[in-house]
Structure 1
Amino acid sequence: MKFTKNGKFTIWNVTTLIILVIFLLFIAFPLFLVLKKSMINPTTGGITFEYLGKFFERKYYWITILNSFKVTVVTTFLSVVLGLPLAYMMRKIKIKGSKLIEVLVIISYISPPFIGAYAWIQVLGHSGVVTKFLNNTFGTNFEGIYGFSGIVLVLTLQSFPLIYIYIAGALKNLDNSLNEAAESLGYSSFQRIYKIIIPLIIPTMLASALLVFMRVIADFGTPMLIGEGYRTIPVLIYTQFMSEVGGNEGFAAALCVVFIVVTLVLFLFQRIVANHFSYSMSALKPMKVEKSTGIKNILAHGFVYIIVFLAILPQLVVTFTSFLETKGGQVYTGNFSLENYRNIFLAKDTAVIWNTYKMGLMAIVIIVVLGVLISYLTVRKKNIITSILDTVSMFPFIIPGSVLGISFIFAFSDKPIVLSGTVFIMIMSFAIRRMPYTIRSSTAIISQISPSIEEAAISLGASETKAFRRVLVPMMMPGVMAGAIMSWITVISELSSSIILYTSNTQTLTVSIYTEVIRGNYGNASAYSAILTVTSILSLMLFFKLTGKREVSV
């Protein structure tokens, strides 16, 4: 179908331009304002590097970069140390309850890290159960897990499942004949692992480690809750922006620019590493799960069970404590009660729960519609404009949530476009942040569908748009819907941008959990966390039902 008589523009050209305008408005424009505010003197209107200089001149500020890197490097290393052997044992040794274990690992991965931080506060905080036991029983002066060690503990237990998921997938494609050949040459089990298996999965290990690195360095909730003076750059950005609203916005913008540069460098490094080490494996003879005996079997089961238990412990803690009676909101009496649920369903406005579902579903609709269209345009309608669209649409992948939230405040708080405080700006922040993941998965699906199928429909009299709607979209839908469910889980768990953009009318579950913890209302926080956890688990079960498998791809 043509939009003009001369045929210069088709409906796909117009669609491309409309989507490009949307991304320029909600990505390029806000980021441009962040850069502008970081380099423009509000008094003189001239260019200044005062704000950037302020960051690098004072140790109080630039130390946050080092702190963030320290936390991220240690967390990434420990995630590999846990995820690699766990994946290998699950693929090589017959572990009792392996199917349940895989589900639990995935649940621990999809849960928000700040819920883990809050749960560990109840276990190993100043007044945590284990902290009290250690201090009362052994007379120690253990202060809890706050600071660097606590941040690393929480983020490692929440990040290693990502390593596990990637490496487990790679091991499925590993040809076991190579391993058997090494065994026939006299290699021990340990030698086969580090000389054969690890070198073959290095590309996957590096790719997953870099994803963990980028995810951890941008995390806001965990260091904010248990950092206790150990400042990371996301926390610094949040605290500086919230204290300087209505005052000097330039410094907050300068912090955002520094953070964007850091994440951009990491993203480019990831792409270079991925391209350099990229190769494919075909498992003509896949690894087989073998039953083990003796001490090896005991150690393997012990390692798997302990690691998975620690990973899923936060969900168990928040669910259990949500049914405990509290005194003053902070002290648990030890009696079971539905008090916490009465507080959030009867004494409080339940709008935060419905806001989460309503805005999450609206964001998913936008993500699916735009994601499918962008994937189709970039795969089937390649030209300069779709190439630009493809590049711009991937920007949110490297923009931390806190930066996106601040950039939206800069862009949409004044005329001509005033969106701050509205439901729409929350929905768009969710959609923009999660869009790249849907685009990537949809692109992979379209690439696997032969263009000849659409051509056959057109040859039978269908228009190009009708072939897209009636042939291609139905073929894509199962994969797209499965991806939409995983996007939904991450959307309802979003905190870093929501904490900046929300108002009393747009508050979500994640914001409510965070604010209740800050106020010391642990009982209410547990109840909210349990609702979010149950929602995520039910969504995951629906994903398994649609895909017919017990694994996720990321």
Structure 2
Amino acid sequence: MTDSPAPGGVTQAPSRAGAANRTARAPVKAGRPDAAIGAWVVAGLLAYLVLPWYAIQDSAWYSVLPQLFGGPETANGLVQAFSHGRGWLLLGLAGLVMAASSLALLPGRKQGQLLIAGGLMGSVGLAACGFMIGAKGWSFEWLGRSFGDLSIQQFGMGAGASLALMSLIVLAAFGIARLGYFKGDLFVAASVVVCAVLMLLFIAYPVSKALYGAFLNEEGLWSLAALYERVGHARVWGLDCVAGGVRCGVAWNTLALALLTAAGSTVLGTMMALMAERGALRWQTPLRVLAFLPIITPPFVVGLGLILLFGRAGVVNQFLDYAFNITPTRWFYGMLGVWVAQMFAFTPIAFMIMRGVVQGVSPSLEEAAQTLRADRLKTFYTVTLPLLKPGLANAFLVGFIESMADFGNPVVVGGQFSVLSTEIFFAIVGAQYDQGRAASLAWILTLFALAVFTIQRALLGKQNYTTVSGKGDSGIAMVLPDSVRRTIYAVTLPWMAFTIVIYCFAFAGGFVQTWGRDYTLTLHHFKTAFAVEWGQFGMVWAGTAWNSFFTTVKLAGLAAPVTAVLGLLIAWLLARTQFKGQGFFEFAALLAFAIPGTVLGVSYILAFNVPPLELTGTGLIIVLCFIFRNLPVGVRAGTAAFRQLDKSLDEASLMLRASTLQTLFRVVLPLLKPALVAALVYSFVRAMTTVSAVIFLVTAENELATTYIIGRVGNGDYGVALAYCTVLMLLMSLAIVLIQLLVGERKLGRRKSGTAAPIKILQGTP
């Protein structure tokens, strides 16, 4: 291309500096979000002025707002720094001032460097001082030996400190975007950095603090020999069962059980999803209802129902003894019982993941295969199943990790069959407390999860599974081949009947006087738990279960939407952006599932019982445990859904000058409704029914439904426990219906009725 001559006949070369400036400013021009920088600077300054800096004991932060300029416990950040001798707090204020000065510059590298310098100086400075200075002065002995005793102390972070620290982190992320990373998008940069900090703080930090105990010997000194001695023990890796012995090591038991459960739940969940979306209409509604029953039930209810059926005194053994004179035994207890219980517990997760993936399969691709003379069976195996590959891999991964981390089912029906999660539990709460052994076994779980995660990424690779694009799809989903339909019905219908039987037992247990002895119908157990009386000042919640009920609903209701939004946001970042450390970023989001709930609970106690995050005994620590324990399901469901969405949809929205945030809410989110429903439902019901992750975090003021039920079971009061479980099942069923009504179904522009006309090939047609 030849440059056009300037007036006077002189040809002017284009300015390199001007071209470079246009290129550098191109990403910023679309949004020019300097207003976002100013907003976060203002938020950080307000955190120093109008909020208490430290956490307030036994009361809410807003209750002490009139005392912001008062004593050392309730004052704001400025008063703490100037009046109470905590000058290190000025590091954050200096960082905010430096970030504010960047607003005088044009968007570019200089502004980015100033934002990064201010954000890092403030956030790293505040965080470092928070970890080094505690309630008794220096937090580490070596600091006292180096600098002498410190008379000034500080408490856990409060509302002011949290908001100021968040503002500084976001401003540093904005600076990274201004340097040209993340394509200059401030929202993407802030999302990646904030999500990474949250996972580092609430997953990696507490877990690593607990796992560090694996390297400590009995004297508390660091030793690799201590780790090798604990991990390499025959009780962990023994293969006596192969050589004719009684049992194998707990590592092999856990691995075999996890593989069986993952494979079984994935296959059954996929069959249920195909039956719900491609099967006869008369089965769809019952299937969708029954599929959610195991997930809305406390885990020990399924185990109790299975024991009532197959235990030594169960219905099946009693029938065999009566009809065939077969002596009742404990044949069900062991690996078989745990596997059946886990299949009931984890198949609904696979169903929810796979249902959204099945919905996303484009009928046009199936019709194209049939046009090329492929019959329905060949089309199913060569087109439909390969397009389900991302969902199958994600469902298998979640099932594998869930099985490894499961604690309740092995304890209830495991008998002498040991797995890593139960061994860790007894190492922590058993007669001989051994944190080092528990940490060593947790290392094995983490490595197993890492191995399966790596294999899954290698299998999927960078293949394209996009089936939802910007083009309308008016096709009708292909009817299942007869052989496939018969196989699915032969497997899923007995499973549905089995589910009904188990829950009938569990439901009836709350309405009889004493199960096994007195079957008189009664409502006494419901009255004991949920009695309501009228007192002198109005209605009184007199039942013994009301306190735990209200607390559980409140904390689960707070955690569920945060878990769903954060999980889908992380999935979007993994699917639509590229940055260094992306693989580690994804593994960190899944790490909470690889750690048993008991270890995660103990990790939170060890990490968050001292400043700067002094959360032990509060409801917030339970909410955080809910969020990051259930986060992986939202991530995996969103990842599977994003693999089916064409990136051109996002690009078209951005080309029409919509911001990244507008694209997420107006284009992407409506297409992610199945994944959103799965994340919301799972996070809410798991928060309502979890046991192992919170058993060490509850207090008398924050008692949860599951801990109340376990207490009743421990006292032999099964009637009240089962009555409470019935109420929980009804509540969570109502919650699932409301979530589905509020979120709705996604619209893909496809016909939902009509019969696909058979494709006829005329003789002689070329």
Which TM-score bucket, shorter chain as reference?
Answer: 0.7 to 0.9
Cα shift at 1:195: 6.7
Cα shift at 1:492: 1.6
Secondary structure of the structure 2 residue equivalent to 1:279: coil
Inter-CA distance 515–451: structure 2 relative to 1 (3 Å threshold): farther
Which stretch shifts more, 367-376 or 62-71?
367-376
In 2, Cα distance between equivalents of 1:387 and 1:201: 22
Cα shift at 1:220: 1.0
Query: Is contact 2:260–2:339 with CA below 8 Å preserved after alignment?
Result: yes
Higher helix share: 1
In 2, Cα distance between equivalents of 1:495 and 1:20: 27
| Superposition map of 1:323-342 within 5 A | 323-326=511-514, 331-342=516-527
Q: Tell me the equivalent position of 2:411.
A: 224
Q: Tell me the equivalent position of 1:363.
A: 559
Q: 1:151 aligns with which of 329, 338, 359?
A: 338
Q: 2:306 aligns with which of 98, 102, 120?
A: 120
Q: 2:454 aligns with which of 268, 273, 280?
A: 268
Cα shift at 1:544: 1.9
* Letter in structure 1 aligned against 2:426: T
Q: 1:38 aligns with which of 214, 223, 229?
A: 214
Q: What's the TM-score once normalised by structure 2's chain length?
A: 0.60
Cα shift at 1:153: 1.4
Q: Tell me the equivalent position of 1:424.
A: 620
Q: What's the TM-score once normalised by structure 1's chain length?
A: 0.80
Query: Is contact 1:146–1:227 with CA below 8 Å preserved after alignment?
Result: yes
Q: 1:494 aligns with which of 687, 690, 694?
A: 690
In 2, Cα distance between equivalents of 1:519 and 1:251: 31
Q: Which deviations, in whole Å up to 9, do the C-alpha atoms of 1:100-143 show, x marking residues without a partner?
A: 32232233345454332122122222333333333234322233
Secondary structure of the structure 2 residue equivalent to 1:41: coil
Inter-CA distance 214–36: structure 2 relative to 1 (3 Å threshold): closer
Query: Is contact 1:108–1:158 with CA below 8 Å preserved after alignment?
Result: yes
Q: Tell me the equivalent position of 1:13.
A: 171
Cα shift at 1:80: 4.8
Query: Is contact 1:108–1:312 with CA below 8 Å preserved after alignment?
Result: no
Q: Which deviations, in whole Å up to 9, do the C-alpha atoms of 1:127-181 show, x marking residues without a partner?
A: 3333333323432223352211111112223333444455555555264447746
Inter-CA distance 524–450: structure 2 relative to 1 (3 Å threshold): farther
Cα shift at 1:313: 3.9
Q: Tell me the equivalent position of 1:311.
A: 499
Q: Which deviations, in whole Å up to 9, do the C-alpha atoms of 1:196-237 show, x marking residues without a partner?
A: 765664554344233322222221111111111111111111
In 2, Cα distance between equivalents of 1:439 and 1:191: 32
| Superposition map of 1:143-542 within 5 A | 143=329, 145-167=332-354, 169-172=356-359, 173=361, 175-177=365-367, 180=370, 198=385, 201-202=388-389, 204-243=391-430, 247-275=433-461, 279-281=465-467, 285-289=475-479, 303-326=491-514, 331-346=516-531, 348-364=544-560, 366-367=562-563, 392-414=588-610, 417-438=613-634, 456=657, 482=677, 483-542=679-738
Secondary structure of the structure 2 residue equivalent to 1:49: helix
Q: Tell me the equivalent position of 1:50.
A: 226
In 1, Cα distance between equivalents of 2:573 and 2:385: 38
Cα shift at 1:40: 2.2
Inter-CA distance 497–446: structure 2 relative to 1 (3 Å threshold): farther
Inter-CA distance 291–26: structure 2 relative to 1 (3 Å threshold): closer
Query: Is contact 2:334–2:413 with CA below 8 Å preserved after alignment?
Result: yes
Q: Tell me the equivalent position of 2:147.
A: none
Query: Is contact 1:179–1:197 with CA below 8 Å preserved after alignment?
Result: no
In 2, Cα distance between equivalents of 1:204 and 1:475: 22
Which stretch shifts more, 415-424 or 384-393?
384-393
Instruction: Report the aligned-residue RMSD.
Output: 4.3
In 2, Cα distance between equivalents of 1:19 and 1:94: 43
Secondary structure of the structure 1 residue equivalent to 2:328: coil
Q: Tell me the equivalent position of 2:200.
A: 24
* Letter in structure 2 aligned against 1:323: F
Q: Tell me the equivalent position of 1:462.
A: none
Query: Gapped runs of 5+ residues in structure 2?
Result: 1-34, 42-98, 103-110, 120-166, 174-189, 239-248, 532-542, 748-766
Secondary structure of the structure 1 residue equivalent to 2:520: strand
In 2, Cα distance between equivalents of 1:414 and 1:450: 47
Query: Is contact 1:454–1:472 with CA below 8 Å preserved after alignment?
Result: no
Inter-CA distance 97–28: structure 2 relative to 1 (3 Å threshold): closer
Report sequence identity in percent.
Answer: 22
Secondary structure of the structure 2 residue equivalent to 1:498: coil
Query: Is contact 2:296–2:729 with CA below 8 Å preserved after alignment?
Result: no
Query: Gapped runs of 5+ residues in structure 1?
Result: 459-466
Inter-CA distance 500–379: structure 2 relative to 1 (3 Å threshold): same
The aligned length equals 533
Q: Which deviations, in whole Å up to 9, do the C-alpha atoms of 1:461-487 show, x marking residues without a partner?
A: xxxxxx95x996688887597443442
* Letter in structure 1 aligned against 2:458: I
Query: Is contact 1:99–1:550 with CA below 8 Å preserved after alignment?
Result: no
In 1, Cα distance between equivalents of 2:386 and 2:521: 52
